[in-house]
């Protein structure tokens, strides 16, 4: 599972392409990334969950896994009360899906079913929920060479750590690490090691009114479950 928070049009995401044995044993349930952002007019929340890292050309969603976007809404940052909305999606075969928007009290706020493979999206009768699913190029950029150099640099530098055991760096060291992350070993532009990799993407757009019952500050995370 992955989590993030947002309050505005900026994109947020988390990445996890190398997971535990239990997750990798069931690739269709293995979450690679979660993306969430508001539309330009802040009317809709866009959510993407990618699964099955390094999917093959013929890989498709199946009916053994349920996919859930969890969206919490609060009145402001630091608020202790939160409403929880879920977008739950279940495939019946590779070209048939059902998705429910479940409000904080468990009632169904919206629903859509059908073939989600059209890039324009499968739209609910209300127009407040849109869903797409299919094989896509992995959108996450990862420079493995740069990452490994940064790991070696941090481990070899003996950097002091804070209370959370995170290394603390001065401006010079920070600049070096950034340079390593943005270049390959020969100092050429960084290579995207996921550039030719595929994932399965589940894309949801939901009207903001369906996910903001607790307030305008949203937090989102995703989970996968064995289908009943």
Q: Could you give the CA distance from residue 147 to residue 184 in angstroms, rounded to a whole number?
A: 9
- Give residue-wise pLDDT tens across range 42-78: 999 999 999 999 999 999 999 999 999 999 999 999 8
Question: Does residue 3 carry a pLDDT above 60?
Answer: no
Q: Which residues are CB-contacts of 205 (< 8 A; sequence separation ≥ 6)?
A: 39, 44, 45, 46, 47, 121, 129, 130, 131
Tokens of 160: 């002091």
The packing angle between helices 144-157 and 171-181, to 10°, is 150
Pick from 64, 31, 65, 69: which is nearest to 201 by CA?
A: 31
Helix (H) or strand (E) holding 14: strand 12-15
CB-neighbour burial class of residue 29 (10 A; exposed 0-12, middle 13-18, buried 19+): buried
- Phi, psi at 55, each rounded to 5°: -65, 150
Q: Which residues are CB-contacts of 105 (< 8 A; sequence separation ≥ 6)?
A: none
A 10 A CB-CB count for 102 gives 18
- Give residue-wise pLDDT tens across range 148-184: 999 888 888 888 888 888 888 888 889 999 999 999 9
Which is more confidently placed, 24 or 44?
Answer: 44
State the residue for tokens 């290579």: 191
């Amino acid at each position: 599972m992955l989590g993030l928070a947002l309050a505005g049009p900026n994109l947020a995401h988390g990445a996890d392409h190398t997971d535990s044995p239990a997750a990798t044993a069931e690739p269709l349930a293995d979450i690679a990334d979660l993306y969430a952002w508001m539309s330009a007019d802040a009317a809709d929340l866009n959510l993407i969950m990618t699964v099955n890292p390094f999917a093959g050309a013929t890989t498709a969603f199946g009916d053994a896994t349920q996919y859930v976007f969890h969206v919490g809404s609060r009145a402001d940052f630091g608020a202790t009360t939160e409403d929880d909305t879920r977008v739950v999606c279940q495939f019946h075969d590779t070209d048939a899906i059902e998705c429910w928007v479940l409000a904080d009290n468990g009632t169904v706020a919206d629903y859509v079913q059908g073939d989600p493979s059209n890039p324009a999206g499968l739209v609910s009768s209300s127009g407040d929920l849109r869903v797409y699913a299919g094989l896509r190029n992995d959108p996450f950029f990862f420079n493995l060479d740069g990452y490994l150099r940064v790991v070696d640099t941090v481990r070899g530098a003996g950097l002091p750590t804070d209370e959370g055991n995170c290394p603390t760096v001065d401006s010079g060291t920070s600049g070096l690490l950034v340079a390593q992350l943005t270049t390959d070993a020969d100092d050429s532009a960084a290579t995207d090691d996921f550039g030719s990799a595929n994932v399965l993407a589940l894309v949801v757009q939901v009207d903001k009114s369906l996910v903001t019952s607790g307030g305008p500050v949203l937090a989102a995370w995703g989970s996968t479950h064995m289908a009943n």
